[in-house]
Amino acid sequence: MDQAVILAAGEGQRLRPFTATKPKVMLPIAGRPILTYVVESLARNGIRKIVLVVGYRREQVFDYLGSGEQFGVEISYINQERQLGTAHALAQAKEAVAGEFLVLPGDNLIEPDTIARFVNVRPPAVLVKRVDNPLRYGVVITEGDQVQNIAEKPQEARSNLINTGIYAFTTAVFGFIEDRLDIPDVINNMLSLGQSITATETTGTWLDVVYPWDILSLNSAILRQFKARSGGTIETGVSLKGPVLVGKDTVIRSNSYIVGPVVIGNNCDIGPNVCILPATSIGDNVAISPFSEVKGSVISNDVNIGPGCIIEDSVIDSGCVIRGHVTAGSGEADIEINEEHHRVNIGAMLGESCNLGNGVVIQPGTIVGNYCRVQAFKMISGKLPDKALVF
């Protein structure tokens, strides 16, 4: 198998505010869009011809990946005008593939070893994985190594095997799509017509990003693979422990304390006397002022964090300005997204270009929309819509 279709057209409404300005596949994980990890996993397994089905804010995908040359692959693009479902997206690629091919989601963390065996499987086949919380996914019922049924988010799980959204097909699959919008429905149609479909189980890393806090778990998983490297300046008195990657032209100022795994991008100014704790990724052009602490968080590009701040288990999108002594502590929170209720341990989730005044306290689980402004010494909680002003 030497070709693959990556489905990268979706928006990801449950990930707002982060997907209001970028497609889901371009969410930054450890300093790079999640889609790049999928492309690299294919390249590492010898798959060089890639068809990307794009749609929502597709120009961002074009700009970043281009022809694929920097990844050692050949990328062609197909546009899905209306994002109606995964099968509808796959159908757009009918004329772009031949013979056997893989189908993968562009918004999952897929490592090379996850698909190493699957690239040699005989299609049609579904890659499955055992998980503790199968009700969140499509549950796969099998008999031996044969798929019997895929039930999307059932009320009761008859199996802890779930559908990863990774498939091996031949072009015969297009004859089964008809007016079906999602690939699991196509699979069930194939089964009902007597087609046998193999279930191949993987124990490799596969993580889905569905909700804003999933960004943190994916980030942590990627950071565990990093090795220490410095392309910047480390001043005297700095303590680096564990794997810490420091980007080009970044300065870590004196008496700062950093415990990896941590990745810090290019052209950052950190410290002095800053504490950065494990599972933190910091983008490019980020400034963190003295006596601030950041732990288990994802900080995007062009963020400015003032002195004396505490940022824990938080996701902060690009262009945010956070003044001095702002607290975004982690804690257990009830969060409602699209009428779904979740109880998670989380800090704050800030959209693009927010501006927080001195002394602001952000309650755990707070979701702040893009371009919000919060005056000094306010306490915020719950959800703030885009462009909200808190006086």
pLDDT of residue 309: 98
Q: Buried b vs exposed e over 295-332: b needs ≥16 C-beta within 10 Å? A: bbbbbbbbbbbbbbbbbbbbbbbbbbbbbbbbbbbbee
| Helix, strand or coil, per DSSP, at residue 262 | strand
Strands 389-390 and 373-374: parallel
End-to-end CA distance of the chain: 59
Report the predicted TM-score, pTM, of the whole model to 2 decimal places: 0.88
Could you give the C-alpha distances from 190 to 169, 172, 194, 198, in angstroms and in order?
12, 10, 7, 12
C-alpha–C-alpha distance, residues 283 and 352, integer Å: 13
* Matching residue, tokens 């004196």: 254
Could you give the C-alpha distances from 279 to 196, 238, 242, 271, in angstroms and in order?
43, 19, 11, 18
pLDDT in tens, 53-85: 998 999 999 999 999 898 989 999 999 988 888
DSSP 8-state symbol, 296: S
pLDDT of residue 377: 96
Name beta bridge partners: 269.
Answer: 251, 287
pLDDT of residue 339: 80
C-alpha–C-alpha distance, residues 83 and 203, integer Å: 31
CB contact set of 164 (below 8 Å; sequence gap of 6+): 108, 110, 126, 127, 128, 129, 202, 206
C-alpha–C-alpha distance, residues 127 and 108, integer Å: 13
C-alpha–C-alpha distance, residues 121 and 34, integer Å: 25
All structural domains of the chain, each given as residue ranges with its CATH number in brackets, are 3-210 (3.90.550.10), 222-390 (2.160.10.10)
C-alpha–C-alpha distance, residues 233 and 60, integer Å: 32
- Which backbone phi and psi does 385 adopt, to 5 degrees? -70, 165
pLDDT of residue 287: 98
Element of type H or E holding 58: helix 58-65
Positions in the chain whose pLDDT score sits under 70: none
pLDDT of residue 258: 97
What is the secondary structure of 373-390 as a DSSP string?
EE-TT-EE-SEE-TT-EE
